[in-house]
């Protein structure tokens, strides 16, 4: 019988159909949390949903209307949300623009979780202290945010740097939340899980080359090891010490892009993202 460190807490995990999201959902449920899971495939989510004792919530983050519907469904299910694990993401071919016409690394890694988190803000604020955990990446070091060209209309998008930019945005968004919602008891933290031998890179020919090759065994850690830092943060809960920080696995203040603490980018990205998703 495992300890019940998460008893009484309500959690939503995105990207819960696979990899570290699925593992995090299972472990948090086994430690007593009420866990809700979302992913883009009902079929793939089902075993995880069954394991944690819930019905799958299906939303494709390449469709912002799906994200709006997801937020409404979560709102119907829960009065309060103690923990939001914004974990869905990956690398995507830039030319495959989303349903909403955005560059996919930008929308799936940043814009969709930005919208979801904002829509769930009342439920987070209603909890007795809430934590938002954003799964970022060491790939943030390769990113570059250009505020007036978030969708790569005036430069060429290259897949891995575009992914890194999305993961850099996760840190900027974490800081945006920390600066805006602390009065409501909402704490936010970003985390790099490590190089995890998950299904990461499945949508990418280039990244998949490494993650699907026999080399994967040597360069990556296991999915449970990759999920462990997320679970540790979840168990810690809305500790103000975490607010706005970027963890590299278990270590605070991981290596981050110089842009990650640029106040004009924290504010500018927030404002531009709110316009793009038409937040009132």
Ligand X SMILES: NC(=O)c1ccc[n+]([C@@H]2O[C@H](COP(=O)([O-])OP(=O)(O)OC[C@H]3O[C@@H](n4cnc5c(N)ncnc54)[C@H](OP(=O)(O)O)[C@@H]3O)[C@@H](O)[C@H]2O)c1
Would you tell me which residues interact with ligand X (CB under 6 A)?
15-21, 39-41, 44, 60-62, 87-90, 108, 135, 137, 192-193, 195-196, 198-200, 202
Question: Which is nearer to ligand X, 112 or 127 (by Cβ)?
Answer: 112
Tokens read off for 97: 């623009």
- Active-site residue, selected from the candidate residues 163, 211, 246, 247: 163
152 is annotated as an active-site residue = no
DSSP 109: I
Question: Which is nearer to ligand X, 17 or 97 (by Cβ)?
Answer: 17
Question: How far is Cα 221 from Cα 191, in angstroms, rounded to an integer?
Answer: 16
Question: Which is nearer to ligand X, 44 or 180 (by Cβ)?
Answer: 44
Buried b (16+ CB within 10 A) or exposed e, 199-222: bbbebbeebeeebeeeeeeeebee
Work out how close the CB of 72 gets to ligand X at its nearest, in angstroms, rounded to a whole number.
16
Question: How far is Cα 108 from Cα 96, in angstroms, rounded to an integer?
Answer: 12
Q: Would you give the end-to-end CA distance of the chain in angstroms?
A: 47
Question: How far is Cα 18 from Cα 88, in angstroms, rounded to an integer?
Answer: 9
Tokens read off for 110: 């940043």
Which residue of the chain is nearest ligand X when measured via CB? 19
Question: Which is nearer to ligand X, 19 or 56 (by Cβ)?
Answer: 19
Question: Which is nearer to ligand X, 118 or 204 (by Cβ)?
Answer: 204
Work out how close the CB of 214 gets to ligand X at its nearest, in angstroms, rounded to a whole number.
17
For residue 197, what are the CA distances in angstroms to 63, 159, 224?
27, 19, 10
The pair phi, psi for residue 110, each rounded to 5°, is: -120, -60
For residue 238, what are the CA distances in angstroms to 95, 184, 231?
38, 11, 13
Work out how close the CB of 136 gets to ligand X at its nearest, in angstroms, rounded to a whole number.
7
C-alpha Rg value of the chain to the nearest Å:
17
Question: How far is Cα 118 from Cα 95, in angstroms, rounded to an integer?
Answer: 28
For the annotated catalytic residues, the residue numbers are 163
């Amino acid at each position: 019988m495992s300890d019940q460190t998460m008893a009484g807490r309500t959690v939503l995990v995105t990207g819960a159909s696979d990899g570290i999201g699925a593992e995090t959902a299972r472990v948090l449920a086994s430690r007593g949390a009420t866990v809700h899971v979302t992913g883009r495939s009902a079929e793939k989510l089902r075993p995880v949903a069954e394991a944690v004792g819930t019905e799958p919530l299906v939303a494709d983050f390449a469709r912002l209307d799906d994200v709006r519907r997801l937020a409404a469904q979560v709102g119907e299910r829960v009065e309060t949300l103690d923990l939001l694990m914004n974990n869905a993401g990956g690398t995507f071919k830039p030319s495959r623009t989303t349903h909403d016409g955005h560059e996919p690394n930008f929308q799936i890694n940043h814009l969709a979780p930005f919208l979801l988190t904002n829509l769930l803000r009342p439920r987070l604020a209603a909890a007795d202290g809430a934590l938002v955990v954003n799964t970022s990446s060491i790939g943030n070091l390769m990113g570059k945010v250009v505020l007036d060209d978030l969708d790569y209309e005036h430069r060429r998008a290259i897949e891995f740097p575009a992914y890194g930019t999305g993961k850099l945005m996760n840190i900027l968004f974490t800081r945006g939340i920390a600066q805006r919602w602390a009065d409501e008891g909402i704490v936010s933290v970003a985390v790099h899980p490590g190089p995890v031998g998950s299904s990461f890179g499945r949508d990418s020919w280039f990244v998949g080359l490494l993650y699907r090759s026999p080399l994967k065994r040597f360069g990556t850690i296991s999915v449970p090891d990759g999920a462990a830092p997320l679970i540790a943060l979840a168990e810690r809960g809305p500790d103000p010490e975490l607010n706005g920080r970027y963890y590299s696995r278990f270590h605070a203040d991981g290596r981050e892009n110089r842009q990650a603490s640029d106040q004009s980018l924290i504010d500018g990205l927030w404002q531009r993202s709110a316009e793009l998703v038409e937040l009132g």
